[in-house]
A = this chain, B = another copy of it.
Amino acid sequence: MEGSAPRRTRIQQEKRELILEAALEVFSANGFRGSTIDQIAEAAGMSKPNLLYYFRRKEDIHETLMQRLLDTWLAPLRELDDIGDPMTELRSYIRRKLEMARDFPRESRLFANEILQGAPRIMPMLEGELKTLVEEKAAVIKGWMRAGKIARTDPWHLIFSIWATTQHYADFDVQVRAVLGPDRGGDGRFEDAARFLEQLFLDGLKPKV
């Protein structure tokens, strides 16, 4: 009975949340090796030994954070459904992904950091759960192509391109803002991006005749 989930007091639940929030901030900005327990502890407003009372090892924090992330991270793709107009479905998938880049940039950067370092801690998940999910959705997209609802292309690379273009606004945010400058790079940049991406994925760049 009650095998996996350890019983927790009220304080433990609260403090663990506090630590995870602080760790997300620190890890996403400095990477795993670039972050110290002291930094996380300070950001969480407690001493290092106190933090280590709630998470025995630095890796445990990162692992917990990563597990939580993955669920919410794939939610938009999971929602991509066969019901409804294909073009509308894709458009709203892009919009959802872009909203995640806007609202959860730290999560995006945490994920990017992990992949950049070769995904040492989540490789099984990529080859298992993620691969399966993408295969499933690629099949749906192929169906749309066969039905003549969208142009024929490679569904896998289509998904990659949506990931790349949307996550770019979280992962490369510093560069985006630097290049756009103070005026163009304000809060409106996400709406500009949404408009551009919609047009790109719909009509491409060829001029209308």
Taking beta carbons and an 8 Å cutoff, which residues of A are in contact with B?
A: 29-34, 87, 90, 109, 112-113, 115-119, 123, 126-127, 130-131, 134, 148-151, 153-154, 156-158, 160-161, 163-165, 167-169, 171-172, 174-176, 178-181, 184, 192-193, 195-197, 199-208
Contact = CB atoms under 8 A, between A and B. Distances in A.
Nearest to A119: B174
Contacts of A196: 153-154, 157-158, 161
Contacts of A204: 151, 199-204
A205 B202 contact: yes
Nearest to A171: B116
A2 to B, nearest CB: 34
A192 B138 CA distance: 15
Interface centre among A30, A175, A208 (most CB of B within 10 A): A175
Contacts of A151: 199, 203-208
Nearest to A194: B157
Interface centre among A33, A131, A160 (most CB of B within 10 A): A160
Contacts of A161: 165, 168, 196-197, 200
B192 A157 contact: yes
A75 to B, nearest CB: 17
A117 B171 CA distance: 9
A116 B116 contact: yes
Nearest to A159: B179
A206 B31 contact: no
Contacts of A34: 31-34, 117
11 contacts: A116-B116, A123-B178, A151-B206, A151-B207, A151-B208, A157-B192, A157-B197, A164-B164, A164-B168, A164-B172, A201-B205
A188 B202 CA distance: 26
B157 A207 contact: no
